[in-house]
Chains A and B, each alone.
Chain A
Amino acid sequence: MATKILTEHVAVPGIETFDVYRKQGGYTAVEKALKTLSPEAVVEEVKKAGVRGRGGAGFPMGMKWSFLAKPEGVPRYLVCNADESEPGTFKDHYLMKNLPHLLIEGMIVSSFALGANKSFIYVRGELMYVIHILEKAIAEAKAAGFLGKNILGSGYDLELVVQPGGGAYICGEETALLESLEGKRGNPRNKPPFPAVKGLYQSPTVVNNVESIATTPWIINNGGDAYAAIGIGRSTGTKLISASGHIRKPGVYEIDLGVSVEDFIYADEWCGGIRPGHKLKAVVAGGSSVPILPADKILTTAAGEKRLMTYESLSDGGFQTGTMLGSGGFIVFDETACIVRNTWNFARFYHHESCGQCSPCREGTGWMEKVLHRIEYGHGHQQDLDLLVDVAKKIEGNTICPLGDAAAWPVASAIRHFRDEFQWHIDRPHEATQPGAVYKGDMAASADRLV
């Protein structure tokens, strides 16, 4: 039975309003924290919970909080990263649209813990309708005395500002987000200094993902130990998974970390299996930037064990046979999907979204897109595959921010695991460029490639 830490009340009619949310036990974590706990005690509970950054990096949230510098007389900021733009990921969109007060409650608890009196929710500009939902919810919370001056008579003041982005994937990178919030182009900053020391307006700042912040009310109400009791090992708690692609039931699912990948794909509770009449070919498990894995490798680790939906199990085997949990953007491909076309599509995405600051990323993403385009359209050369791997290697690790890595991994992994499919495009361009043509070669010969 899955624990519903975030989505327990999602189906309650009117849950987006303050009154209904409050009736379901909403804002009790604010009361508990502000009336009975010190900020340090809140940080301690979040540390105990072991919750890891849900935006994709998986860095322990409590530890990130404890790095926040606290010089006298300098304001500190909490900024919620709601710039969800990683292809395959739509869980923060779902959470904010359906449960705006959960995020606001989490923002109050988290801001209190960090000693921030003005906090920001940076939402991608395309989600303007969600921004209106959040602004309405903030006004309700303020009217009820949960925001503003002297909240619940505790002496603690907090103002929440919802900031729209302007359309740029790069602003999901925390320092680019801060630049954008300061009214500039979203160019990532060199680190150090880290935002915890010099962030927004050069003040100490914590940037956390929507889902991460939304865990804090439950953690405060139930305790960090209770949260850590869910999941397996260092993958504590629950995770929202955005499921898309060739499955029977696309959508957002809250799972206990530790569910098997096989169950997640095939059980009726979650994806409900591959669409009728088709078979599983590949999965991108954590948003477009994580390595793509063929069916056999996503279901089973190299050691022959069932792969689980945890940070550790998904990355088991490193990039040779494993991948990453990332943002939980779970994209499923059946046998009708062309891996070459999808890889070109993702490469085009990263080329389009590169901010252009670092040459390896600016130029490399463009080369990868161009080479993949010519392979997909029947003009590939034999040396192109090695060229792609070489370009990917030269981007990886050589850029200010992780967008370079994010662009390199999908290309390198697609060639690693589906080299024969790329080779087919190069060897038999007339066949490969027929409308709807998809490689069936090796996969038909080796049964374990399709599940």
Chain B
Amino acid sequence: MTTETNNTIQFTPERLAKANEIIARYPEGKQKSALLPLLHLLQEQEGWTPAEGMDYVAELLNIEPIEVYEVATFYTMYHVKPVGKHVIEYCRTGPCCLMGGEEVFAHLKQRLGIEAGQTTVDGQFTIKEVECLAACGMGPVFQVREKYHMHLTNERVDEIIDELSK
């Protein structure tokens, strides 16, 4: 497996070990299967998936950079542009809306002073609209990194923003 590279972005030794462990899960010659997990690993480290990082992932998997770009741009979870420290991924789909999701979403945008797809000037928060997060019975819902925040109300949104701002 590749351990030397000229890329400006590289995995930390721990993440490289993890990456190699992931790559070894698949049958011989099918290492491209590791692409989605490795992009998650890249995003976990960098906060988004910059081109240099994607080139590095292409090197690790011995595939063309375009094969990484086309995948990163197909799936909604990968941030192909820089984002804020906290990305709030807000469910905009029907069942959450039935539970007052649109009103709570309006409050969130007002509170942060930004629209969906924007980042606050201090670089702390990005709001991203997403589709159904499979938590419809607990709506309205948003996700920040791995954490699901459910049963949202305006008050609860304020508490979460205060907590994340600390």
Contact = CB atoms under 8 A, between A and B. Distances in A.
Nearest to A161: B25
Given A129-B147, A167-B76, A183-B36, A329 B136 contact: yes
B94 A166 contact: no
> Binding site of A, secondary structure by majority: helix, strand, loop or mixed?
mixed
A90 B134 CA distance: 5
A298 to B, nearest CB: 16
Given A163-B33, A331-B136, A342 B94 contact: yes
Contacts of A164: 36-37, 40
Contacts of B78: 166-167
B132 A87 contact: yes
Interface stretch (A5-13, A21-29, A63-71, A345-353): A345-353
A125 B94 contact: no
A429 interface: no
A118 interface: yes
Contacts of A118: 27
A180 B133 CA distance: 19
Contact of A124 (B37, B134, B146, B147): B134
A341 B92 CA distance: 12
B70 A185 contact: yes
Interface string B117-150: 0000000000000111111111100010011100
A230 interface: no
B75 A165 contact: yes
A180 B77 CA distance: 14
Contacts of A165: 36, 75
Contact of A128 (B39, B71, B99, B146): B146
B165 to A, nearest CB: 23
Contacts of A85: 131-132, 134
A307 interface: no
B98 interface: yes
A157 to B, nearest CB: 14
Contact of A163 (B37, B93, B94): B37
Given A89-B136, A128-B40, A244-B137, A182 B94 contact: no
A168 B76 contact: yes
Nearest to A352: B131
A345 B67 CA distance: 32
Given A85-B132, A126-B133, A245 B98 contact: yes
A411 interface: no
Given A166-B39, A183-B36, A333-B98, A92 B134 contact: yes
The 3 A-B pairs at the shortest CB distance, nearest first, are namely A166-B75, A167-B77, A183-B35
27 contacts: A85-B134, A88-B94, A90-B135, A125-B36, A125-B77, A128-B146, A163-B33, A165-B75, A166-B40, A167-B76, A167-B77, A167-B78, A169-B132, A180-B36, A182-B30, A182-B32, A183-B34, A183-B36, A183-B67, A185-B70, A186-B74, A245-B99, A250-B138, A288-B94, A331-B94, A345-B97, A346-B93
